[in-house]
Chain A
Amino acid sequence: MKTDGSGAHDIKMWTPATVATVLVMLGGAGVAVYRLVSGLGAATRLSDSFPWGLWLAVDVLGGVAMAAGGFIVASMVYLFNMKKYKPITRPAILTAFIGYFLAIVAILLDIGQPHRLWHPAVMWQIHSVMWVVAIHVMLYTTTLALEFSPMFFERVGWHGAARTVQKIMVPVVLFGALLSVLHQSSLGAVFLIIPGKLSPLWFNTKLPFLFLVSAVMMGLSMVGLEAILSSRAFRHPMDTEIFKGLAKALTWVALFYFVLKMYFLVAGPGLAAAFDGSMESRMYLLEMTLSVILPLLLLLGTKMKESVSGLLVIFALVIAGVLINRLNVGIFGLYRHNAASGGFYFPTWMEFAITAALIALAFFIFKMAARHLPLLTSGAASEH
């Protein structure tokens, strides 16, 4: 593998997986055009009873939670000086950047007036959590672009610019961490306004904090999963101590999250609410099993954490579990209340197509960055 800062050109461009990815993206692009010219009613099953659907729950809430790995790893390396994790800093920052970029694309398609996306930037309404969220997305995406820029500068040979950004990296990372903590928790705060609608299995006034902690779990797992997958796919060897370190951090955070969730279950609707056989209780148990119970059992009770393949499974479980948590808060926990007025919601194929295309786009951008930018390698400027 070349290490001159110009990427890994030995990564094969057109594998069957990449061809499939591009096809899904093209399909999604077609649906996106249809959505923009025909409107939300034509493309989605959203209605007055279900104003928010798949795009918000998965693409926005899920996508942003997946991006949490960026600020976690950047903080570990630049603020806590944990040099061990330096090799995964760039992939983590790129993932965060992709996550936010895709969330913005999803928001653009989801809002009724896409050409007014910029309105929150000039029409301030500080009492709105959504406004807080919008400002964070704008500021943090800019911050991530700055954190990401050395890769680009090294690629085009502007080593002076790369060095300049590296010099201010500590304050930039601190600013990014600040925005991330607020943004992840703000997404939970969005749902504070609906105590009468959201099932008590999920609603409580500490929802912002629960969103933040679960985003940390998701971020650690995402970075781990991606480092394992990319080291395999691009035949780029990586120190397994990195994965084990991430898994150790994940264990502590998941234990903390489990205690929090149990406290809010018992203090809130009561333990029985999780076992009453309702749709909500089943979704709650599924979420808890995938996001914390199974991963913790595997991490603490088995030797799976010793092997890279075992860690891969654990990371994937946590990602799926937290994703279901976002689906539960955004859709399933509200379903009973929303459907009471006679509506129903199941996404159209077009809603699924857009979500699939955005995930495909994430994989594609990551691969292109690995191939053409010093992502898995690091150029001369970053060594100082």
Chain B
Amino acid sequence: MANSVLIDMTRCIGCRGCQVACKAWNDRSVKKTVMNGNFTNPPELSSECYTHVRFVEKGVGGQPVWSFVKKQCLHCQTPACASVCPVGALRKTPEGPVTYEFERCFGCRYCMLACPFQIPKYEWEKVLPAVQKCTFCADRVKDGLVPSCIKTCPTKTMFFGSREEVIGEAKRRINGHPGKYVNYIYGKEEAGGTSWLYISNVPFQELGFDMNVPQYKLPDLTWSYISSIPVVIGAVFVAGIGSWYATRRQEVQEKEKEGKS
């Protein structure tokens, strides 16, 4: 079954338990951070940080309101990163996670360029670096366990199930609580659909979500080129042979004329 997750941002209290659980399960080290004017810590995802909670303060009805935005790989249904990887190091597994195999990777970083959500990070400080990103706890999920961030969440912010169940649950919550949620499921269409989806009580663009992510399968763009290659091969081959034959024939005919005269 392809697993999926719904993040209901109205339930998150910003405890960052998911960040800690993620580091513990995935054996990520911690880096010393400094105060930078807001409560988001660490400030960005990195090769040592697969998930973090962004603290966004918004004025709603004259009152300051916190929103807590958990960020991690969205595990696209048709991931751009996996489609562009020249050695098949990134792969969409049938269980849902987009996984990374270090032994294949040769470090071209095309996945980092291609990802519409800026998720893959690189171990720049290492001599032989790896790409790092959220694994969807693929090693837990394949044994029927939920990802460590979901396991540890005290407020059940994340709902785990099949993609159909998750989208159904999102619709049920939006429709069941009129006025509570904005009527949008982020990830339903973004980049052709993702396995991790969000619902929110604050408009997504105000929370820093990229609303310009194309709403179609990105790999189709490159595949339409790659699948045309046999046609190009045929055309160049025919044109090349044709012009060679035509010019050679001309030369032979000219030589024959010279010979006769």
Q: Using CB atoms and an 8 Å cutoff, list the residues of chain A in contact with chain B.
A: 37-42, 46-49, 51-52, 75, 78-81, 110-114, 116-117, 119-120, 123-134, 170, 174, 177-178, 181-182, 185-186, 189-190, 192-197, 205, 208, 341-342
Contacts and interface: CB of A to CB of B under 8 A. Distances in A.
Given A39-B126, A39-B127, A127 B244 contact: no
B107 A134 contact: no
A112 B222 CA distance: 24
A120 B105 CA distance: 10
Interface stretch (B58-66, B84-92, B151-159): B84-92
Nearest to B132: A48
Contact of A194 (B83, B106, B113, B229): B113
Given A193-B219, A195-B214, A112 B240 contact: no
A81 B240 contact: no
B223 interface: yes
Contacts of A123: 86-88, 104
A52 B120 CA distance: 13
Contact of A113 (B107, B219, B225): B107
Nearest to A178: B236
Contacts of A134: 86
Contact of B222 (A46, A48, A192, A196): A192
A373 B206 CA distance: 66
Contacts of A177: 236, 240
B169 interface: no
Given A75-B240, A80-B243, 16 more contacts: A52-B109, A78-B244, A80-B247, A81-B250, A81-B251, A120-B106, A123-B86, A129-B225, A130-B85, A132-B226, A133-B86, A192-B221, A192-B222, A194-B114, A197-B116, A205-B224
A125 B87 contact: yes
Interface centre among B44, B45, B88, B212 (most CB of A within 10 A): B88
Nearest to A45: B124
Given A46-B124, A48-B112, A113-B107, A182 B86 contact: no
A79 B222 contact: no
B124 A113 contact: no
Interface of B: 44-46, 80, 83-88, 104-110, 112-114, 116, 118, 121-122, 124-130, 210, 212-214, 218-219, 221-226, 229, 232-233, 236-237, 240-241, 243-244, 247-248, 250-251
B221 A181 contact: no
Contact of A196 (B88, B116, B128): B116
28 contacts: A39-B124, A39-B129, A40-B122, A40-B124, A42-B125, A79-B247, A80-B243, A80-B244, A81-B247, A112-B106, A114-B107, A119-B106, A123-B88, A123-B104, A124-B88, A125-B88, A129-B222, A130-B84, A130-B108, A177-B236, A178-B233, A178-B236, A186-B225, A192-B222, A194-B113, A194-B114, A197-B113, A197-B116
Sorted nearest first, the 9 A-B pairs with minimum C-beta distance are A112-B107, A41-B124, A81-B247, A131-B86, A116-B106, A130-B86, A51-B112, A51-B109, A123-B87
Contact of A129 (B45, B213, B226, B233): B226
A48 B113 contact: no
